[in-house]
Amino acid sequence: MFRTFARDRRGSISILFAVALVPLLVVSGAAIEYSRSTRVQADLQSAVDGAALAAGRNALDEGRRDLTKLARDAFDAAFRPDGGIAVTRFKVTQSQDRIAVEAAATLPTIFGGFLGRRIVDLDARAEVPLGIMAMEIALVLDNTGSMSRLGKMEALKEAAKNLIDAIQGASGSVNSSFALVPFNTQVNVGTANSTAPWLRYAPPGGPEPKLEVTSATWTGCVVDRDQPNDARDTLPSTGRPDTLYPAAKCQYPNLLPVIPLSRDFAAMKSAVDAMTPTGNTNTGIGLAWGLAVLTPGAPLSGIARAPNSRLQKIIVFLTDGVNTENRWTTDANQIDQRTDRLCNEVKSSKIKLYTIRVIEGNETLLRNCASQPSMYFSVNQASDLKGVFDKIAADLTTLRLSF
């Protein structure tokens, strides 16, 4: 009978399945527990992120009071523990430069008896930097004749004014300021500066007839500085004529003068409304003056401050065409090369540079000019400018988490 039983193979699969059932349950339980803990961990991190951002926004708007309660309220609204989940720690740490939020929770396991672990510990942390509390923004805007077509100038004016409103609403007039640099082949710096020490007048009979003006006959325009200073942020010096800005006959009428940095947002919007398209394109001189108005000690820099950890300098640079003419040439490639050098000079000065191409223009030049690829925009119709300027406003005013 025993020999017959030993040879009998019936029911062997059931025995093997019973032996394998325990490890199968352990593996399945582990998978379920991992999925649950991953989901709860993501929920916890999301709630901590939201709490840090809520505290950071409040700090920028209302000052550095204790924000623990505000952060906890935002956390509790987003993280609603159930199934035995318990929040065991919540902490807000504030400093001059950042706000950090930390939280910890425990998650009871379903298969704790199989896995030998009845509690899973979870934690999350998020930081919001508060270092950038002020902005200096130069709007460097193409005012050439082609901007009069296809509704480009009208759309630009509306979009630029919306950007000014967005910055004012986010930071207030105390923290941020705007400058306006309209350009075509030249820049108008205003006849009120006719005796400024940074200007240079050329005597009659020189090699460049368009520079032959006097302080009495000058109508406000300047051209590119002598190379290589045309593509540098070298401060002008009366002891170095090559660093001065050459006064010139205005090639085209109605070019609006540069408006230095100002916290008068209403006046800045009025100046934007006054822009009149006229003339050909020299993107280099526009960027050169965008750099100048943000450089302390440079002409028309106004209230520009020295760089510091709590100040961000920004140029928003827009054009709708290829380069056609600068002080020396009508060769687009040569003018592009000067512009490219200026782009590098701006970025080396730690200035954030946004570039916008409106329907036409050198895409490669403008894309490479931007501080990052995501800061270059190209639109195929003028009505898209509002969306571009809205994105820039959101980028400048949105708090970011620091990981």
What are the residue boundaries of the structural domains of the chain, listed by start?
A: 12-129, 134-397
User: 61 vs 110, 174, 199, 288, CA distance in Å?
Assistant: 45, 12, 42, 34
Its pTM stands at 0.73
Per-residue tokens: 396:
């400048």
Cβ(314)–Cβ(138) below 8 Å:
yes
Per-residue tokens: 287:
């960027």
Burial 243-278 (b: 16+ CB within 10 A, else e): bbbbbbebbbeebbbbbbbbeebeebbebbeebebb
DSSP string covering 122-155: EEEEEEEE----EEEEEEEEE-SGGGGSTTHHHH
- Sheet bearing 134-142, strands edge to edge: 259-262, 176-183, 134-142, 311-319, 352-358, 376-379
Pick the CATH number of 12-129 from 3.30.465, 1.20.1300, 3.30.1300, 3.40.50: 3.30.1300
Provide the pLDDT for residue 112: 55
Question: Tokens 């929770």 sit at which residue?
Answer: 105
Q: What span, in angstroms and rounded, lies between the C-alpha atoms of 175 and 311? A: 9
Q: What is the pLDDT of residues 154-173, one digit of tens each?
A: 999 999 999 999 988 875 54
Provide the pLDDT for residue 6: 55
Helix, strand or coil for residue 63?
Answer: coil
Provide the pLDDT for residue 267: 96
Q: Which of 161, 157, 221 is nearest to 185 (CA)?
A: 221
Task: Report phi then psi at 341, rounded to 5.
Answer: -65, -40
Cβ(156)–Cβ(385) below 8 Å:
yes
Cβ(351)–Cβ(313) below 8 Å:
yes
Residue 173 falls in which region: left (phi positive, over 0), alpha (psi -120 to 50) or beta: alpha
Provide the pLDDT for residue 398: 74
Fold for 134-397, please state it. Rossmann fold (3.40.50)
Per-residue tokens: 258:
């540069």
Low-confidence ranges of the chain (pLDDT < 70): 1-33, 60-64, 111-117, 131-133, 171-174, 399-403
Q: What is the pLDDT of residues 291-312, one digit of tens each?
A: 999 999 999 999 999 988 778 9
Neighbours of 127 (CB within 10 A): 20
